[in-house]
Structure 1
């Protein structure tokens, strides 16, 4: 087994983390980050659209410095940096030496999706980190199984684990099987971040059962790992059960295209070529083929194929499959590095391709361009999330202008959680009240007061509002002043009075999950 080249991997990790850190404070909060901060102020064992881990991290970072965007994003920077290091370690587990480990880590560091999720506080960054660690641990388990039952049995008998001619269980007495407990711990914590992790876990497990090596399960630590993961995940499952399983309802809405990042089946397939960057396609495709050719590790490409089919048919988002690519890139890096050998010219050519991939990924998925240049660039068309980090202070200022013309008992109702979260974050300086919304968790946090003299409504159309209020007065539109086309730009504002029923009675109809 090749040695871990710690120093080069550390250099790559430090440079990658420094890049993300340097751009972390630019532009502004993403709508999801504002929502995580709001959710963190309502701690619970679960939410309709996510487990509690990421809101808990947002609360912890905010408690240290409520105004630091860099600090809020630091956990994601660390998670994405871990994925970069894990890619190098996976290459080592696949037999790669110094060149393969560095190539794998640099390739992953240049990937569009890895940069994108590392820049923002998101459940996706921790989901990819958890899946990368699971893949790494499973590779360790597979390496232990490769020793053969005879060698493992001899070692077990020498340690007194087996005797009387009874063969030892593979992995169990040798100690390799104990890594299953690490898998169980990581899966349990990962499921407290994003329930989506259950799909790759189940897919890889089924793939190992179908194509082997099945002896990897021949240890008492496997069922213990399953139990450990379930126990850690259980509080969130109980919350979902007690609240009518809203996660299922939200999943159906996403499959129907309700989310801003929902993909059609065609776009789901095409986006796979761009998640890591188009220039990395040959490397991860080669890795997929190499893993398929290796019977000991064939479960990984089988799991990839299963997940691809499941997410395609179920209407999943393109990035749901993103966690599979680090191991594919690592698998491709091993034979490529071996073929490059000591030929510096070839290494320079490969390095140039990865450098171009990194530059393009950074320009598209990090806040590199000045805000003023975004409107005329292709960034917003490719990276939906970039637009959702711009204009929130202006948005709240516009709400405050309308609120200043009304009485102190005026309530605020928004169409989505990003708008409500922005008012909570920036509304204090204007004395704005706590906003309300029917979107996701905000619906659980309750309606506006029945005693409100007026309700400022943003983002909902007039025809919809006339069903709930007898008086609906237009109050202008949202304008970020930058010409940036995002979900809030041009949204209407209304001042609503004379509700047709108490707000508390009409609130059930306001619920919507996406």
Structure 2
């Protein structure tokens, strides 16, 4: 009796056997063009923007200067990238933001690849990529040197791997056992292998049949970037338990992927162990100061800032969880749903769930193109549907662009934000309303801060300047003084705020102490004498966040106890 499986004689051919189409043909050139457009957009905005570095960017640059790869309170990946970027490209705004711009471009490409993996054609791939390119969520994240855009990248890569795992399983492919019967040598001398699909009776490319290690690698890179990858880890674990891939947990592959993730992300875990799990304190502070202002309606309402693309995402969720043709991607869809539910239950910020959207956009785009079970669409009408959806998404992106990227001066941005009337776009982490988006306000005033502190430092007697320590009240002030301070003659800065506390009190005698942004009441009882030195001067304080508008400067003479002796107690203040 003849078997339905090709014989071993197929190994002597010089090209691959006929392969059943398991995904849409990737629209390489258009996707690369859209990715390049993302990079160009960020470069142009950096050139024309009147804004400077963000307070968080200043902190991450400082973490690079104080890099301790195996002993940081924060995942060290962003600190390594900061030092690498500075060494290769310099420390201009555009150079430091090159990495995030490239990460945004990679997200655009991955959205197209996700649509292809879901059997989407050229139109679906381009729509998914355009949705990521034009979304305010991804535009803002891709512009700032922060872990956020890299976190989005690793989540998306992990979900792509999960889609490929599910698709291979639904085709009856064993990813760990490529058939030697289906190997051949290309004219260029490279060895190729295929895996046999018992379900479809076709050969499938083995390159897409073994993504478990990619899933582990993405998880490990996520651990090096941001601990929020643990939310995805929990969601993927739940999806594997209840979804169609639960039998895979009886094999070694998921556990090898977990081992890879822990191995790659080990520096973040070791740092927490060495420092006494500071992430727990950071989470308590976050919940007490910021997340307390976020409710379920705020989280859900924040998703509407996606504009028309949110409808595409909703269609994508339904498609991944209910459509027959996406059965192979069911586990990835469940992971997205579980991650959303988990962040909603924990009262996370609306943008925390952004990394699931590239997959949802891709699924929604493919549904628009192909239709779904129970919702028959004429294939002849696919192109108009995709064009209309793309036009709406692009139009919304253009309208919101001035509040997504810092491309207009503050006054013009404030007028545009007021015209849009979207209060959530200008609300701070603590629930206050500003004229500008908080990210924009946090990019203003730092050079002026450093210049005013430098003037106060220069006015001190020579004897005081030799021993004085500059102490900043928050990490934004500390980061600004550390970045701009050497250019204006300031000594090294110290701060008990956040990650800066772990950097220590410095090597100076610290008598006197020049304090920046520390209230006078906090110095009384700690200093023999407190001398007011004025406030930081700004040409226009309207656009700054409230805590940076009237920053006081004091000279603490005769600190008792000394800064070094009191450093441990300052951590809790």
Q: TM-score, normalised to structure 2's length? A: 0.81
Would the aligned equivalents of 2:471 and 2:513 in 1 still touch at CA under 8 Å? yes
- Give 4+ residue runs of structure 1 displaced > 6 Å after superposition: 151-155
Q: In structure 1, what is the equivalent of residue 470 of structure 2?
A: 412
User: CA shift at 1:360, angstroms?
Assistant: 3.0
Give the gaps of 5 or more residues in structure 1: 162-170
Equivalenced residue count is: 501
User: CA shift at 1:376, angstroms?
Assistant: 4.6
Would the aligned equivalents of 1:145 and 1:215 in 2 still touch at CA under 8 Å? no
Distance in 1 (alpha carbons) for counterparts of 2:336 and 2:551:
40
Confirm whether residue 477 of structure 1 aligns to residue 535 of structure 2.
yes
Residue-by-residue CA offset, 1:198-237 (whole Å, 9 max, x unaligned): 2102211211211223244464332222111111222321
Distance in 1 (alpha carbons) for counterparts of 2:70 and 2:301:
33
Q: In structure 1, what is the equivalent of residue 374 of structure 2?
A: none
Q: Which moved more, 1:196-205 or 1:368-377?
A: 368-377
Q: In structure 2, what is the equivalent of residue 198 of structure 1?
A: 230
User: CA shift at 1:490, angstroms?
Assistant: 2.0
User: CA shift at 1:174, angstroms?
Assistant: 6.5
Residue-by-residue CA offset, 1:372-427 (whole Å, 9 max, x unaligned): 43455526447321111111111111111222221313221111222111111111
Compared CA separation, residues 181 and 301, structure 1 to 2 (3 A): closer
Q: In structure 2, what is the equivalent of residue 397 of structure 1?
A: 451
Q: In structure 2, what is the equivalent of residue 267 of structure 1?
A: 298
Q: In structure 1, what is the equivalent of residue 412 of structure 2?
A: 373
Compared CA separation, residues 201 and 256, structure 1 to 2 (3 A): same
Would the aligned equivalents of 1:292 and 1:298 in 2 still touch at CA under 8 Å? yes
Residue-by-residue CA offset, 1:457-483 (whole Å, 9 max, x unaligned): 222222222242243333332343233
Confirm whether residue 445 of structure 1 aligns to residue 503 of structure 2.
yes
Q: In structure 1, what is the equivalent of residue 284 of structure 2?
A: 252
Over the aligned positions, Cα root-mean-square deviation in angstroms equals 3.0
Q: In structure 2, what is the equivalent of residue 211 of structure 1?
A: 243
Tell me the SS of whatever aligns to 2:220. helix
Distance in 1 (alpha carbons) for counterparts of 2:564 and 2:75:
27
Confirm whether residue 357 of structure 1 aligns to residue 396 of structure 2.
yes
Would the aligned equivalents of 1:86 and 1:132 in 2 still touch at CA under 8 Å? yes
Tell me the SS of whatever aligns to 1:298. helix
Distance in 1 (alpha carbons) for counterparts of 2:358 and 2:177:
35
Distance in 1 (alpha carbons) for counterparts of 2:117 and 2:293:
35
Distance in 2 (alpha carbons) for counterparts of 1:152 and 1:177:
5
- Picking from 318, 341, 356, the partner of 1:324 is 356
Distance in 1 (alpha carbons) for counterparts of 2:262 and 2:491:
40
Confirm whether residue 293 of structure 1 aligns to residue 353 of structure 2.
no
> Which residues of 2 match residues 102-501 of structure 1 at below 5 A?
102-148=126-172, 156=179, 158=181, 178-217=210-249, 219-258=251-290, 263-274=294-305, 277-294=306-323, 295-338=327-370, 339=377, 341=380, 346-378=385-417, 380=426, 381=434, 383-406=437-460, 407-408=464-465, 409-447=467-505, 451-482=509-540, 483-486=542-545, 487-501=547-561
- Picking from 42, 51, 55, the partner of 1:20 is 42
Would the aligned equivalents of 1:400 and 1:430 in 2 still touch at CA under 8 Å? yes
Compared CA separation, residues 43 and 157, structure 1 to 2 (3 A): closer
> Which residues of 2 match residues 44-55 of structure 1 at below 5 A?
44-46=68-70, 49-55=73-79
User: CA shift at 1:176, angstroms?
Assistant: 5.6
Give the gaps of 5 or more residues in structure 2: 1-22, 184-192, 194-202, 371-376, 418-424, 427-433
Q: TM-score, normalised to structure 1's length? A: 0.89
User: CA shift at 1:333, angstroms?
Assistant: 0.6
Would the aligned equivalents of 1:440 and 1:512 in 2 still touch at CA under 8 Å? no
User: CA shift at 1:452, angstroms?
Assistant: 2.9
Would the aligned equivalents of 2:403 and 2:413 in 1 still touch at CA under 8 Å? no
Tell me the SS of whatever aligns to 1:178. coil
Compared CA separation, residues 424 and 109, structure 1 to 2 (3 A): same
Would the aligned equivalents of 2:532 and 2:554 in 1 still touch at CA under 8 Å? yes
Distance in 1 (alpha carbons) for counterparts of 2:245 and 2:382:
36
Would the aligned equivalents of 2:24 and 2:118 in 1 still touch at CA under 8 Å? no
